[in-house]
Amino acid sequence: MRASRFVSLFVLGLAVLAGAHVASAQGTAPPPGDAKLGQALWMRDGCYECHGTVAQGSGARAGGTGPMLAPKPLPFSVVLSQLRRPMNVMPPYSTAILSDQDAANIYAYLMSIPVGKSASSIPLLSGYLRK
């Protein structure tokens, strides 16, 4: 009886850990944001200087520091964490500088950026693509 109880508790613990991992991987849903205002904040606050005007990133080959953030940005909780306690050379954006609502607006802008066309769908590039 004691061994089966241990196994049950062990399995329950694994289930709780797995559930916590999935929840943290998915992140929390962002507050409702305004993509148009987010784009204005993106430009006003200088995000474009490192990440580009459409969050395409500045590219390591060009000596840039800002990674690509769109399309398909990371979960809001990850983006907000990076804003508040950044890794690498990004400056921190405290709530006194950028409110959570402004961050949600910027996130809405990132979410609104569509996936670009593939090179093969652009006729002008057809002669330059490798087969």
Cα–Cα dist 72/69, whole Å: 7
pLDDT, tens digit, 9 for 90 and up, residues 59-84: 766 667 789 999 999 999 999 999 99
Ramachandran assignment for 54, one of left (phi > 0), alpha (psi -120 to 50 degrees), beta (any other):
alpha
pLDDT at 4 exceeding the cut of 50: no
pLDDT of residue 40: 98
Give the CA angle between residues 32, 36, 38 to the nearest 5°.
Answer: 65
pTM of the predicted model over 0.75: no
Say which DSSP state 119 is in: G
pLDDT, tens digit, 9 for 90 and up, residues 7-46: 343 433 444 344 444 444 456 677 899 999 999 999 999 9
Domain-wise residue ranges, the chain? 29-115
Structure tokens at 33: 């944001």
Asked if 106 contacts 33 with a C-beta cutoff of 8 angstroms, the reply is yes
pLDDT of residue 7: 37
Which residue has better confidence, 123 or 92? 92
pLDDT of residue 62: 61
What stretches of the chain show up as alpha helix (H) in DSSP? 2-26, 35-44, 48-51, 76-84, 100-112
Residue 48, number of CB atoms within 10 A of its CB: 17
pLDDT of residue 31: 85
Cα–Cα dist 73/31, whole Å: 15
Q: Which CATH architecture has domain 29-115?
A: Orthogonal Bundle (1.10)
